[in-house]
Amino acid sequence: MKKDKFGPEYIIKVYDARIGMEGFLVIDNTTLGLGKGGIRMTPSVTEEEVCRLARTMTWKNALVGIPFGGAKSGIVWPSFAKATKGKPGDSEELKKQYIQSFAKLIKLFTPKKYIAGPDVNTGHREMQWFVEATNNWYSATGKPSDFCINVNGSKKCGIPHELGSTGFGVAQAAKVAADLKRIDIKKATVAIEGFGNVGSFAFKYLQEMGARIVAIANTKGTIYNKNGITKQDLVLIKSPVKKKLNHDKIFSLPVDILIPASVTDVINENNKNSIKAKIIVEGANIPMRENIEKELFKKGLLIVPDLIANAGGVISSYAEYRGYNTEKMLELVKDKIIKINKIVLEESIRTNKNPRDIALKIAQTRIEEKLNK
């Protein structure tokens, strides 16, 4: 766990013996504003992972220029069978209990120091449960669009991440990178690893731009169509059919753009040498460790770091916090991601420096300037 002049400020571990809920909250840095980051629910989430993600949020928020600090939460969510003994109704009730138990145990910090949001296995429903438990509308963003309050005669409502703000931002980032690589987005081939909220909306918006998405992978395998994924192909992604390729095949396909859009460290020592893409757009948070990212950059890949590529989610969170509508939120996501992506990638191409190093320097400078005032 990295400790330096930037943080972390707080590492909170909570446990509810009644239901077996174990969770982590890391508030990394609040120099630029309240700590902001989503709640991740997986069987394997750890304190170390949450610390890494919280630091990523510190840089991301500083980089895209929104007045939030960095934070992240994690709840150890047992596998379906272990948690519910195969009863879906029990699963929903237990998940609500976990979210609300976690919310009550960290209530001291939110929203004074931390604002929650969606992440892996959490969405607008979970954010409503969280807010109901803290009894504070401002304690989380990514809430349902019909979950509203009135403030001085003005109505404020949730902006769920299910509207696709993160995937929308990933698509904008991919187009900027393609343009700088002199690849026409209308002729670009794309592979998307992960087809949840981020991957599915990146697919939607890139397809609207004219890109040809030739492969999509999830935990059940990879579907591939060199002529472009069709509606019929999409049906296969959710079914365990034999026509699918192995999941890791997605990394070795000869495409222009590869978008890892699932979980942490999906690009690793086992598959890094098989990558044939020209551009990687990091739709997921920390889809690879920094040493692997540097290796791929040295091989000539243009990499849009997660700090930029998936910032649409936290920009959307800020828009909700300010009370913006969906249209204004999407405009803000597009403007901020295109602007900072051009600055970072143009500098990378001009100086032959890793985009992440450039992005980090910008983010760190902004925090240090605030600290020195």
Q: List the catalytic residues.
A: 72
Cα pseudo-dihedral 40, 44, 48, 52, rounded to 10: -40
Buried b (16+ CB within 10 A) or exposed e, 32-63: bbbbbbbbbbbeebebebbbbbbbbbbbbbbb
DSSP 3-state of 15: strand
Buried b (16+ CB within 10 A) or exposed e, 221-236: bbbbeeeebeeebeeb
Nearest C-alpha neighbor of 77 from the set 22, 16, 135: 22
* Rounded Cα distance, 207 and 301, in Å: 23
Nearest C-alpha neighbor of 303 from the set 172, 174, 186: 174
DSSP state of 140: B
Which residue has tokens 């992506």?
A: 341
Helices (H) and strands (E) in the chain, counts: 12, 14
